[in-house]
């Protein structure tokens, strides 16, 4: 499947983010694309600064010096993403694959703001994409929680979610983007809804459905608007919508443990480290929450491999990138791992209450992560279909599934200590707590990126060669040599 990318040009937005950086590394490492255009705020300089926080120095340097990466300084909230007409001309002429990963990931940001940071830019990019001479795939990165409003539509404790579009009307209808006839009546309704969001900052659909965050609704509406655009242009088969659940640290690519502060379970763990109480009020309707409440976390490299292989094999429509029923965590697994890391000498016990997820009585972390007392059974049948299209050699070199948590592979937060402490510092700044309190509460660990850089197998020599930059000789170690 890597052959698909040989000689292709890719336009990647969000290439400095957690997911985008991992996509870029994997592409350069494994495939031989002709060019990757990266849209980023502040261009090369700021991309390099961001990669330095995510990657070992040598790897950040290698990416920023790669001769097949072109940096386009832009901002998705601006008209035409702030790019020059000449940049668009170059993109329209040469790009075959667009991966749109740039997005606000602020869960609580109000809907009117998400119009400019999620919905409008994605729609505008899709419209421009229709003018690309040789576009083969447009990949939109959404979230599995676009359908989290389903929690409120049933009494079940484990809510099944299909790789489809759920209508937000009074009747829960399901649309499969593969079936155009069914979609026909739904399109104009979505346009009407979008007009309402633009004119009034909300819509009946948003008000009627109880989404945990405006972010989830914004992604839901974006998915439907994109389907409309591609359908109207008879290009439905070019649109792939990938819905990751919660991104977790990488198992191996770009390096084991690669992660950032956008990992929600890390943020949640940090707030528990700093919590001085001994009980935490959490909402649930489950009779046995410790075992029935679940958390779906997927290593970022599994998401990357699913995105790149689905794209290469021509999957279209909606695809979940999730741990799924097989490998999601029980609340117990997760909570025990957090308590093991906690430094304050008393443990916190969850106090499960039959409260609404917007109840003011909840602990602040539960108010923010709202879905903490829920369980979603995300279907991921599309990955089984994908497997059937891959040969044995391809399967061997892809990481498409999450390892199950068990006795031999317990869920462990130890490798994330550095990120948990960083997140603790961020929380402390907001709450005006002293840094020394964070140091007292959060264990220290080596910065994942630099620690790994010191390991022999991840030396600068390896980074230079694996990122397609040519071999760096021992004599020139310290500077990355580019092969033109
Ligand atoms: N994190 C998760 O657990 C998770 C789960 C499900 C889905 N997702 C989705 O996955 C995608 C990537 O998320 P992530 O976790 O990688 O987030 P991230 O680390 O915060 O990265 C977001 C990326 O979007 C870019 N971006 C944001 N606003 C922009 C703007 N106005 N103009 C240009 N670029 C902008 C950022 O650029 P800068 O470097 O300039 O800030 C960054 O490269 C998003 O679509 C997100 O909704 C994430």
Boundaries of every domain in the chain: 103-261+296-328+371-413
Cβ atoms 217, 148 nearer than 8 A = no
pLDDT the model gives residue 25: 97
Cα 443 to ligand 1 centroid, rounded to whole Å: 27
Ligand 1 site, CB within 6 A: 14, 16-20, 40-41, 50, 75-77, 101-105, 117, 141, 143, 244, 246-247, 260, 262, 264
pLDDT the model gives residue 451: 61
- Asked if residue 142 has pLDDT above 60, the reply is yes
pLDDT tens for 257-299 read 999 888 889 999 999 999 999 999 999 999 999 889 999 999 9
pLDDT the model gives residue 418: 93
> Does domain 103-261+296-328+371-413 correspond to CATH entry 2.50.20?
no
pLDDT the model gives residue 364: 83
Using most ligand atoms within 8 A of CB, pick from 46, 99, 102 the residue to mutate for ligand 1: 102
CA-to-CA distance for 176 and 318, rounded, in angstroms? 8
Cα 62 to ligand 1 centroid, rounded to whole Å: 22
- Asked if residue 163 has pLDDT above 80, the reply is yes
The mean of the pLDDT values for the chain is 90
Positive/negative CA dihedral, 255, 256, 257, 261: positive
Cα 54 to ligand 1 centroid, rounded to whole Å: 14
Interval 42-71 mean pLDDT: 95
pLDDT the model gives residue 450: 61
- Asked if residue 22 has pLDDT above 50, the reply is yes
State the Cα torsion 8-13-16-22 to the nearest 10°: -50
pLDDT the model gives residue 481: 29
- Asked if residue 156 has pLDDT above 80, the reply is yes
Tell me the CA distances in angstroms from 35 to 11, 24, 136, one per residue in order. Answer: 8, 11, 15
Q: Name the nearest CA neighbour of 166 among 384, 379, 400, 382.
A: 379
The pTM (predicted TM-score) of the whole model is 0.94
Cα 102 to ligand 1 centroid, rounded to whole Å: 5
pLDDT the model gives residue 458: 47
pLDDT tens for 341-368 read 999 999 999 999 999 988 998 888 888 8
């Amino acid at each position: 499947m890597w052959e698909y990318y040989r000689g292709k040009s890719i336009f990647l937005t969000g290439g400095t983010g957690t997911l985008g950086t991992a996509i870029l590394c994997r592409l350069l490492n494994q495939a031989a694309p002709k060019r990757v255009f990266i849209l980023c705020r502040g261009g090369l300089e700021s991309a390099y600064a961001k990669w330095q926080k995510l990657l070992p120095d040598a790897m950040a340097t290698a990416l920023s010096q790669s001769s097949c990466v072109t940096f386009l300084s832009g901002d998705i909230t601006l008209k035409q993403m702030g790019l020059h007409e000449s940049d668009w001309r170059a993109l329209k002429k040469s790009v075959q694959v667009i991966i749109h990963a740039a997005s606000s990931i602020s869960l609580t940001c109000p809907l009117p703001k998400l119009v400019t940071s999620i919905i409008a830019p994605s729609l505008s990019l899709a419209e421009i994409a229709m003018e690309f001479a040789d576009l083969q795939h447009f990949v939109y990165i959404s979230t599995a929680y676009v359908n989290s409003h389903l929690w409120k539509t049933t009494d079940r404790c484990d809510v099944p979610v299909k790789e489809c579009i759920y209508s937000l009307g009074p009747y829960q209808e399901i649309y499969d983007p593969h079936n155009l006839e069914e979609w026909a009546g739904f399109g104009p309704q979505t346009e009407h809804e979008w007009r309402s969001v633009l004119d009034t900052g909300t819509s009946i659909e948003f008000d009627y459905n109880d989404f945990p965050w405006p972010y989830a609704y914004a992604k839901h509406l974006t998915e439907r608007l994109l389907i409309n655009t591609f359908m109207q242009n008879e290009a439905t088969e070019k649109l792939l919508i990938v819905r990751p659940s919660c991104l977790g640290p990488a198992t191996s690519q770009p390096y084991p443990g690669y992660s950032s502060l956008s990992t929600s379970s890390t943020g949640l763990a940090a707030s528990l480290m700093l919590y001085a109480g001994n009980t935490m009020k959490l909402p649930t309707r489950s009779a046995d929450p410790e075992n029935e409440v679940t958390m779906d976390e997927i290593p970022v490299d599994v998401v990357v491999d699913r995105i790149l292989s689905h794209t290469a094999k021509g999957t279209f429509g909606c695809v979940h990138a999730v741990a799924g029923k097989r490998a999601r965590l029980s609340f117990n697994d997760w909570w025990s791992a957090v308590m093991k890391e906690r430094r304050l000498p008393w443990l916190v016990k969850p106090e499960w209450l039959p409260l609404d997820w917007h109840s003011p009585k909840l602990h602040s972390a539960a108010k923010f992560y709202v879905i903490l007392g829920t369980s979603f059974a995300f279907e991921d049948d599309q990955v089984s279909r994908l497997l059937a299209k891959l040969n044995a050699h391809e399967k061997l070199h892809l990481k498409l599934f999450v390892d199950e948590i068990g006795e031999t592979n317990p869920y462990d937060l130890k490798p994330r200590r550095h990120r948990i402490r960083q997140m603790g510092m961020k929380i402390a700044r907001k709450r005006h707590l002293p840094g020394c309190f964070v140091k007292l509460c959060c264990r220290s660990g080596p910065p994942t990126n630099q620690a790994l850089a010191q390991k022999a197998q991840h030396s600068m020599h390896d980074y230079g060669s694996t990122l397609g930059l040519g071999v760096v000789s021992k004599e020139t170690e310290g500077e990355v040599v580019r092969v033109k």
